[in-house]
């Protein structure tokens, strides 16, 4: 087995080393990760400039490269010829913040996994339900163990193509986890505000500020699982089409016939 490990927090983030280290017992591990933080960057790809990769000493015996591109770039880069050995599974993380509900379209952690699924491989994204305070590899040990557990199971079972497993782990010792729940996406509530300030030349500049997002801990959802101390395993499809709405939208009667063109 050959597992590609990446993240969106950058190659030196402690969650990446913790993840790569924990997966070594499952097969060959190669790490290709962004050279800087790409959190909240969405499914970005780089087509307007060249990319450069640099070898990095991360873990002994684990080949590791830092790439000056996005999380999805790292995955495509591996599949499109940089790695000569075929890849069986892409694993992304461990993110130091949760990725639940609609976070998944913002998340570089998840979109790196989406890219792996676009290449027809199994793909997992791991996030820790913490507030980014962890700075050591050790502080990711519960999530790293869950990663090994879920990754081993994923390797030995069938999954349809273009599916990603999005996993969120409570920030507590392994022995205090309340279980593993298969979930759907919950409803995230954002509290972003636009903060305007003045620069030294008296021109305004803007930040997105405000409190961190909260969410509705409904039963059966990823947010609900974390709220009750459980690991959330939420299967996602890249096919986001809402076939159940076809009839509704068909009934609007949008037609070319009779439309007054400009
Ligand atoms: Mn991140």
Quick one: pLDDT band at residue 189, thresholds 50, 70, 90?
A: very high
Quick one: pLDDT band at residue 146, thresholds 50, 70, 90?
A: very high
Q: 41 C-alpha vs ligand 1 centroid, how far in Å?
A: 9
pLDDT in the model for residue 2:
98
Average pLDDT rounded to a whole number, residues 32-47? 98
Q: What is the mean pLDDT of the chain?
A: 97
Do the Cβ atoms of 9 and 92 come closer than 8 Å? no
Q: Is 69 exposed, middle or buried (0-12, 13-18, 19+ CB in 10 A)?
A: buried
> 3-state SS string over 101-133?
CCHHHHCHHHHHHHHHHHCCCEEEEEEEECCCC
pLDDT in the model for residue 69:
98
Do the Cβ atoms of 67 and 31 come closer than 8 Å? no
146: which 2 tokens?
Answer: 């869950």
Q: What share of the chain in percent tops pLDDT 90?
A: 99
pLDDT in the model for residue 89:
98
Q: 192 C-alpha vs ligand 1 centroid, how far in Å?
A: 18
Q: 114 C-alpha vs ligand 1 centroid, how far in Å?
A: 15
Average pLDDT rounded to a whole number, residues 113-127? 98
Q: 196 C-alpha vs ligand 1 centroid, how far in Å?
A: 25
Whole-number Å distance between alpha carbons of 142 and 171: 8
- pLDDT tens, residue by residue, 217-226: 999 999 999 9
Do the Cβ atoms of 181 and 230 come closer than 8 Å? yes
pLDDT in the model for residue 253:
95
Q: 106 C-alpha vs ligand 1 centroid, how far in Å?
A: 10
Q: 95 C-alpha vs ligand 1 centroid, how far in Å?
A: 5
pLDDT in the model for residue 239:
97
pLDDT in the model for residue 190:
97
Quick one: pLDDT band at residue 203, thresholds 50, 70, 90?
A: very high
Q: 96 C-alpha vs ligand 1 centroid, how far in Å?
A: 6
For 115, left (φ over 0), alpha (ψ -120 to 50), or beta?
Answer: alpha
pLDDT in the model for residue 25:
97
CATH code of the domain made up of 2-240: 3.40.1210.10
Q: 108 C-alpha vs ligand 1 centroid, how far in Å?
A: 6
pLDDT in the model for residue 182:
98
Q: 82 C-alpha vs ligand 1 centroid, how far in Å?
A: 24
Q: 188 C-alpha vs ligand 1 centroid, how far in Å?
A: 17
Q: 49 C-alpha vs ligand 1 centroid, how far in Å?
A: 23
- pLDDT tens, residue by residue, 2-35: 999 999 999 999 999 999 999 999 999 999 999 9
Whole-number Å distance between alpha carbons of 134 and 43: 25
- pLDDT tens, residue by residue, 46-102: 999 999 999 999 999 999 999 999 999 999 999 999 999 999 999 999 999 999 999
Q: 13 C-alpha vs ligand 1 centroid, how far in Å?
A: 9
Q: 131 C-alpha vs ligand 1 centroid, how far in Å?
A: 11
Q: 230 C-alpha vs ligand 1 centroid, how far in Å?
A: 21
Q: 178 C-alpha vs ligand 1 centroid, how far in Å?
A: 25
Closest CA to 6 of 132, 93, 127: 93
Q: 8 C-alpha vs ligand 1 centroid, how far in Å?
A: 5
Whole-number Å distance between alpha carbons of 3 and 88: 6
Q: 68 C-alpha vs ligand 1 centroid, how far in Å?
A: 16
């Amino acid at each position: 087995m050959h597992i590609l490990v990446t993240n969106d927090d950058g190659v030196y983030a402690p969650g990446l080393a913790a993840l790569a280290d924990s997966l070594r017992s499952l097969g060959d591990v190669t790490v290709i990760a962004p050279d800087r933080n790409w959190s909240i960057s969405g499914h970005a790809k780089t087509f307007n400039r060249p990319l450069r990769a640099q070898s990095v000493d991360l873990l002994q015996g684990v080949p590791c490269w830092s790439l000056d591109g996005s999380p999805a770039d790292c995955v495509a880069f591996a599949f499109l010829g940089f790695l000569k050995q075929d890849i069986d599974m892409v694993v992304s993380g461990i993110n130091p913040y949760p990725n639940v509900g609609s976070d998944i379209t913002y998340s570089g952690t998840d979109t790196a996994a989406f890219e792996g699924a676009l290449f027809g491989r199994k793909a997992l994204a791991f996030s820790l339900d913490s507030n980014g305070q962890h700075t050591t590899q050790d502080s990711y040990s519960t999530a790293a163990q869950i990663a090994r557990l879920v990754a081993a199971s994923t390797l030995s079972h069938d999954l349809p193509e273009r599916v990603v497993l999005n996993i969120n782990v409570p920030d507590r010792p392994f022995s205090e986890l309340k279980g593993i729940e298969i979930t759907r996406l919950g409803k995230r509530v954002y509290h972003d505000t636009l903060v305007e300030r003045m620069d030294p030349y008296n021109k305004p500049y803007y930040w997105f500020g405000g409190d961190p997002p909260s969410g509705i801990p409904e039963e059966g959802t990823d947010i609900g699982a974390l709220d009750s101390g459980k690991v959330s395993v939420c299967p996602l499809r890249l096919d986001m089409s809402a076939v159940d709405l076809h009839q509704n939208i068909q009934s609007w009667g949008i037609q070319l016939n009779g439309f007054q063109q400009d």
